[in-house]
Structure 1
Amino acid sequence: MVAVDRAIVHAWLADFAERVRSEAETEQVLRFVDRAMLEEFPRFAADPELRGEVRTSGKAHWLGLLVGIGRPQFHIRPPIEVIDGARTVARRGYDLNVLLKTYRVGQRGLWRYITGVLDLQIRDPELRGAVLVTFWERSSQWLDGCLDAVVTAYLEEREQRSRSAEEQRAATVHALLRGDATAAELTPERLGHIVEYQQTALTLWAEHSMASPVAARVLARLAADTAAALGGPPPLTLPSGTHGLWAWVATPEPADVALIPAPPVPGTRMAVGTPWPGVHGFRRSHREALAAQRLAADGAAAGPVIAYRDVDLVCLLTGDGSVESARLLVERELGGIAGPGEPAARLRETVREFLAGGGNVTTAAEVLGVHTNTVRYRLQQAEQKLGRPIDQRRLHLELALEVLAAYGDELLPTG
Structure 2
Amino acid sequence: MDPTVADANAAVLDALMRRQVEVAHSVQRQLATDIAELRGDAEILDLLTASVESNIDTIFGALRHDISLDNIEAPTAALEYARRLAQRGVPMNALVRAYRLGHALVLDVAADEIGTAALDPRTSLALYGRITSMTFGYIDWISQQVVGVYEDERDRWLTNRNSTRAIRVREILAGAGHDVDALTTAIRYPMRRTHLGLILWWPPDPGSDTGRDDGLARLESFLRGMTETVAPQSAPLFVPADQVTGWGWIPLANQDEAAQRVRQFHAQATDPPNVALGRPLPGVAGFRRSHTQALRARGIAMAAGAAGVVDAGTPGLAAAALLGENLDETKVFVQDTLGELAADTTTDAGLRDTLRVFLKHGGSYTAAAEELTVHYNTVKYRVGRALQRRGRPLGEDRLDTEMALLACLWFGTAVLG
For this structure pair, what is the TM-score category when the shorter chain's length is used for normalisation? 0.5 to 0.7
Give the deviation of 1:48 after TM superposition: 3.6
Give the deviation of 1:28 after TM superposition: 4.2
Specify the alignment match of 1:307 in structure 2. Answer: 311
Q: How many residues align?
A: 319
Give the deviation of 1:9 after TM superposition: 2.7
1:261 is paired with a residue whose SS is: helix
* C-alpha distance in 1 between matches for 2:322 and 2:218: 31
Could you tell me which of 284, 287, 291 is aligned with 1:286? 291
Give the deviation of 1:170 after TM superposition: 1.0
Specify the alignment match of 1:71 in structure 2. Answer: 66
Specify the alignment match of 2:300 in structure 1. Answer: 295
Specify the alignment match of 1:62 in structure 2. Answer: 56
Pair 1:240–1:79, CA change in 2 (3 A): same
Could you tell me which of 172, 175, 178 is aligned with 2:171? 175
* C-alpha distance in 2 between matches for 1:33 and 1:221: 35
Specify the alignment match of 1:151 in structure 2. Answer: 147
For structure 2, the 5+ residue unaligned runs are: 327-361, 364-397, 404-417
Paired amino acid for 2:292: R
* C-alpha distance in 2 between matches for 1:44 and 1:272: 39
1:319 is paired with a residue whose SS is: helix
* C-alpha distance in 2 between matches for 1:53 and 1:230: 39
1:237 is paired with a residue whose SS is: strand
* C-alpha distance in 2 between matches for 1:158 and 1:258: 34
The question of whether the paired residues in 2 share the 8 Å contact of 1:196 and 1:277 is answered with: yes
Specify the alignment match of 2:367 in structure 1. Answer: none
The question of whether the paired residues in 2 share the 8 Å contact of 1:77 and 1:146 is answered with: no
Q: For the aligned residues, what is the CA RMSD?
A: 3.7
TM-score (norm 1): 0.65
2:213 is paired with a residue whose SS is: helix
Specify the alignment match of 1:223 in structure 2. Answer: 223
For structure 1, the 5+ residue unaligned runs are: 321-357, 360-393, 400-415
Q: Deviation string for 1:288-311 (max 9, x for gaps)?
A: 222222233222x74633333432
* C-alpha distance in 2 between matches for 1:42 and 1:267: 33
Specify the alignment match of 2:97 in structure 1. Answer: 101
Specify the alignment match of 2:183 in structure 1. Answer: 186
Give runs of aligned pairs for residues 136-285 of structure 1, distance below 5 A: 136-181=132-177, 183=179, 185-187=182-184, 189-209=185-205, 211-213=211-213, 215-228=215-228, 230-231=230-231, 233-256=234-257, 259=260, 260-261=262-263, 263-264=266-267, 268-285=273-290
1:213 is paired with a residue whose SS is: coil
* C-alpha distance in 2 between matches for 1:109 and 1:231: 43
2:246 is paired with a residue whose SS is: strand
Paired amino acid for 1:71: D
Give the deviation of 1:212 after TM superposition: 1.9
Percent identical: 22
Q: Deviation string for 1:95-121 (max 9, x for gaps)?
A: 333323322332233223222222233
* C-alpha distance in 1 between matches for 2:192 and 2:30: 47
* C-alpha distance in 2 between matches for 1:230 and 1:308: 17
* C-alpha distance in 1 between matches for 2:11 and 2:299: 77
The question of whether the paired residues in 1 share the 8 Å contact of 2:216 and 2:243 is answered with: yes
